[in-house]
Structure 1
Amino acid sequence: MAERWILAIDLGNGGPKVGVVTLGGEIAATSFEPVSVEIGLDGTATQDPLEWWNALVAAARTAIAASSFAGDDLHAVAVTGQWGTTVCVDADGQPVGQAILWADTRGGKYSAKLVGGPVSVQGYAPQ
């Protein structure tokens, strides 16, 4: 029987990390493609979802090419992504603008008003 593979994808703030892994956990190949982050003085933290997609496709192709993985041997795809990022889409599922990242603090004053004070998220302290 041919080796069965998992395509593992982690879409982090810096860009997608892609791995080709056996069911037993052996890493055959990995790849990373950086993406840009727009940070503004007003608390803006955004990224372009289409840049994510292009980087993800490039990273996946690189990792697959560097392994002995064949398409028929794919057993699973595992995907994880950024915490609390919002992508607004149109009726066709296409992004209508930049993705608003979990680190975007522009809504902080509204959240504070709703809860009666500063909002605390364990493990994260914006500067």
Structure 2
Amino acid sequence: MLPLTGITVVALEQAVAAPFATRQLADLGARVIKIERPEAGDFARHYDQAVHGLSSHFVWLNRGKESLTLDLKQPQAQVIMHQLLATADVFIQNLAPQASQRLGFGAETLRRANPK
């Protein structure tokens, strides 16, 4: 059994830093659920088309993860995200400064909603 088996990570991520961190967690056994934007998803998907139409960079950084598309500007998607976070052990995001807070997923908001 891997050391992070049983840990769930919800990741609102794109490009490099957070996807690399969560890839490491997935490699250690964590269940990583990557949240992506509708239509485009993670913009790193389209850097090239080397791996069955996906970017080699994207495939390398996101192996072992689940992916879910949510438009977090929509109320129903926010409900789904809050449900995911209520069962998660870890939340990682690398959006622009204050972007997750504006969407209702800032650290203080989440801490009040789920002290876990």
* TM-score (normalised: structure 2): 0.30
Q: Which has the larger radius of gyration?
A: 1
Q: Kindly indicate which of the two structures has a greater share of residues assigned to helix.
A: 2
Q: Kindly indicate which of the two structures has a greater share of residues assigned to strand.
A: 1
